[in-house]
Every structure is written in structure tokens, then in C-alpha cells.
Amino acid sequence: MRRPLTKRKCKHCQTFFAPDPRCARRQRHCAKPACRQASKAASQRRWHHKPHNRDYFRDPAHVERVRQWRKAHPGYWRRQRSRAPHALQEDLTPQETQKQQLDDGLTPHALQDVFFMQPAVLVGLIAHLTGLAFQDDIAATARRLQPLGRDILAGSSHHTGGLPNAQTSPLAHATPTRAQPVQLGGSAPGP
């Protein structure tokens, strides 16, 4: 059975932290950048103080190895902050957009555009009144009704909106003489 993880005090900043479960036995520093740097320095110090590592960088063979590596990698330790990193692709030159004319054989409105431009109430009303359920049927009906609606809103009475034998309802020209008064929030006036 594993022991539950307990908080541990960081050797650098002296604050309590929860160690990573994968290395909880060895972790002595928290994850703050300054503490990680102190952990790295302590680790390097421990490595250098071991007897067989003391002269690791001082032996003539190692000095020559480092010299050869530096010769193969010139300027490795110099940081190049002024240069921007290279992009994975080359810059593209902007091109002028070309205008394309639509083919005259194409319909001006796509089915989905016409269908979804209509308010949901209108689509539902057309489906309810006509009994149609398919988008293309409802869209065709909406396209037939659209000129009629434009004519009505524009006040034109001579055009029937593309519907053959369309008649104007007798209620369309009847205007009320006087609206009845409405009382809000109370009982109706009277005897």
C-alpha cells in the first residue's frame, strides 16, 4: 500500500509544496523557476564533488574533446536575439483578386441560402399552411411568396405577386372606423 503524499518544505524558498508522485522520494525543491535553478546548481555541485568526477573537465583528453566540439559548433554559446526565427515557409507575395462573373445558367439563390434566410416562423407557417415538409418545396413556395410580400409592403395593388388567379381578400380594403377603447388592469367600465 502506498503512503499518501505529504507536503514537503522546499530547500530553497522554504515554502511547503506537494511533490510530484513520480519522484516524490527524491524531490527536494518546488517548481518555481528560482527553486529549479537552485536544484540544478545543487545537483551539479554534488556531481562535481564525487572523487571520479573532480578532474572530468581538466584531463587533457577531455580538454581536447571540448576543443574539437567547439570547433565543430562555432558560436554555439552566443545568443542571437536580434535575428527573428526563420519561418517554416517563405513569405507569400500578395496577389490581386480576380473578379469572376457568375454563369447566366446558374440560379441566383442557392437553396440553403434562401431557406435559412427566412425567419423560422415564416418557414413554419408555410409548412403548416401548405402541408409541405421538404426544404426545396418550402423554399420554392417562399420564392413565389416573396414578390407578393414585396408588392403588398410597397402598396402596389396591380401586381398579384406571381400567383395565377390571385384575388384580394375582401378584408384587405376594409378599415375599421374607430377602434374600441381598452382598459388595462381592472374591471370593465359599465353599469
Domain boundary assignment for the chain: 8-72, 111-154
Q: Which residue has the cell 507569400?
A: 92
CA end-to-end span of the chain: 90
Q: What are phi and psi of 18, to 5 degrees?
A: -95, 120
Q: CB 169: neighbour CB atoms within 10 A?
A: 7
Q: What is the CA radius of gyration of the chain?
A: 42
Q: Which residues pair with 8 in a beta bridge?
A: 17
Flag residues of the chain having pLDDT under 50.
159, 161, 170-176
Instruction: Specify the amino acid at residue 145.
Output: L
Per-residue pLDDT reduced to its tens digit, 56-85: 777 788 888 888 998 998 888 776 655 666
> Rounded distance, CA 12 to CA 83, Å?
36
Please report the pLDDT score of residue 16 as a whole number. Answer: 94
- Identify which of 168, 185, 132, 64 has the alpha carbon closest to the alpha carbon of residue 122: 132
> Rounded distance, CA 22 to CA 29, Å?
14
From residue 97, alpha-carbon distances to 64, 90, 91 in Å are 61, 20, 18
